[in-house]
Amino acid sequence: MTAPVTRPEPASALVATSADAAVRRGAFTLACGGLHHTGGTVAVIGPNGSGKTTLLRLLAGLERLTAGELLLEGRPVDRTGRGRRLFVPAHRRRLSVVFQDHRLFDHLRVVDDVAFPLRRQGWDRRRARDRAATLLAELGAAELARARPRELSGGQRQRVALARALAAEPRILLLDEPLAAVDDASRAAVRRVVARSTAALVVVVTHDPVDVATLADRLVVLDEGRVVRDGPLDEVRRDPGSRWAADFCGANVVSGEARGRRVRTADGVEIVLPDAATGRVHVVFGPETVTVHPRRPEGSARNVWPARVARVDDDGTRALLELEGPPSLRAAVTTDAVRALELRPGRQVWASVKATELTVVPADVSADVPADGSVDDPGHQGAVGVTGDDET
């Protein structure tokens, strides 16, 4: 097992926007002022149309501000104002970005596509291909090296695009739904590689609570073109800023040691899994999958635990319950259920979850990565590699 990569500590904010920063696209405006991120992994979440991809395009240099200023690594790259206008194009920013359309080079084989940023930096063909092959292997895509993009599935194209973005060893790595098309068997490998990226800052747009639970240090919540929350993961979970974010951030994450189809937590709680697993894992499931009962239920659910209601947040239609265990859980129920079951703080209940509702993620996302993938090559620092809409 190789040790996790230690990301470099930046001297200043890697991403920062002035308080008045905004992007206007037709009738839509993204107000993105006040962002300040110094490193780690930031997950950007929000409902469809909230401005997530627009924000990523702005950072990448594929959108321009209509007001305010954007700084990357402490340097202005986009600034508005009479006599002050400044814009640094995408190819001059030390970042890589992967959008959902991937934009691979159809005329190149996969290994040469991934090697492309390195060839631009002056690497010889053999050395660039060797590095590309290593990245593909880390992502479980070694067998794709000789294929053409048109021969690949959506998930395979996504892994190839990620490999090409990582090849440039960017300071900032921007990912738009990096696992959206990836099959379940490959997701763990992709998460490990993203977690081990040497980029000082990784920004991930996602709709997947598992990505947030396993990758993110901080959350940015967008809603209707506004930044409604920007802060550490636990802080935003406590006060998510919108009902959509409250539902999203309410995902339950229970950690323990897996042996076969059972996980045992440090508190002695046993969880039955849908499939066999080994080692330390996170078990992730949404609050809507938790059923609350006044007494121990009979039925097909294998995971049943006693609990005490600690908090009830009721908006008149739906309620989010905080249940004290172990395990401590969040459960989403209807307001009618709150009344019928007399759910209030202090009430003793039973909680159940079907094994088929559980997602199991290795707790050590850096585990089982080939040792040759951990070797940093000093010959390709400061690379530029934009993979996305404006690629040529």
In Å, the largest CA–CA distance within the chain is 72
> Does residue 1 lie in a domain region?
no
Closest by alpha carbon to 99, among 40, 56, 143, 148?
A: 56
Token look-up 């068997």 returns: 185
Same domain, 181 and 281: no
> Does residue 150 lie in a domain region?
yes
Same domain, 23 and 129: yes
Same domain, 86 and 197: yes
Same domain, 214 and 107: yes
CB-based contact 68:22 (threshold 8 Å): yes
Structure-token pair, residue 242: 């919108």
Rounded CA-CA distance 267/246 in Å is 27
Residue-number span of the structural domain to which 293 is assigned: 252-362
pTM exceeds cut of 0.85: no
CATH code of the domain covering residue 286: 2.40.50.100
Same domain, 30 and 152: yes
Neighbour count for residue 342 (Cβ, 10 Å): 10
Q: Residue 369: what pLDDT?
A: 33
Same domain, 256 and 323: yes
Same domain, 139 and 21: yes
Terminal-residue alpha carbon distance, the chain: 38
CB-based contact 366:325 (threshold 8 Å): no
Same domain, 233 and 163: yes
CB-based contact 134:97 (threshold 8 Å): no
Q: At what angle do helices 154-167 and 184-195 cross, to 10 degrees?
A: 10
Same domain, 218 and 291: no
Same domain, 222 and 270: no
Residue finishing a domain among 214, 242, 270 = 242
Token look-up 């159809």 returns: 106
Q: How many domains does the chain have?
A: 2
Give 389's contacts (C-beta < 8 A, 6+ positions apart): 57, 62, 99, 101, 103
pLDDT in tens, the chain (392 residues): 333 344 444 447 899 999 999 999 999 999 999 999 999 999 999 999 999 999 999 999 999 999 999 999 999 999 998 778 899 999 899 899 998 877 899 899 999 999 999 999 899 999 999 999 999 999 999 999 999 999 999 889 999 999 999 998 899 999 999 888 888 778 878 888 888 888 999 999 998 887 887 788 999 999 999 999 999 988 887 777 777 887 787 778 888 999 999 999 999 999 999 999 999 888 888 888 899 999 999 876 789 999 999 988 876 778 889 999 999 998 989 989 999 999 999 999 999 999 998 888 776 543 433 333 332 332 322 233 444 433 32
Neighbour count for residue 305 (Cβ, 10 Å): 19
Rounded CA-CA distance 358/355 in Å is 6
Closest by alpha carbon to 7, among 144, 198, 291, 175?
A: 198
Same domain, 152 and 264: no
Neighbour count for residue 222 (Cβ, 10 Å): 28
DSSP H or E run through 233? helix 233-238
Neighbour count for residue 56 (Cβ, 10 Å): 22
Rounded CA-CA distance 23/20 in Å is 10
DSSP H or E run through 318? strand 318-324
Q: What DSSP string runs through 291-317?
A: EEESS---SS--EEEEEEEEEEEE-SS
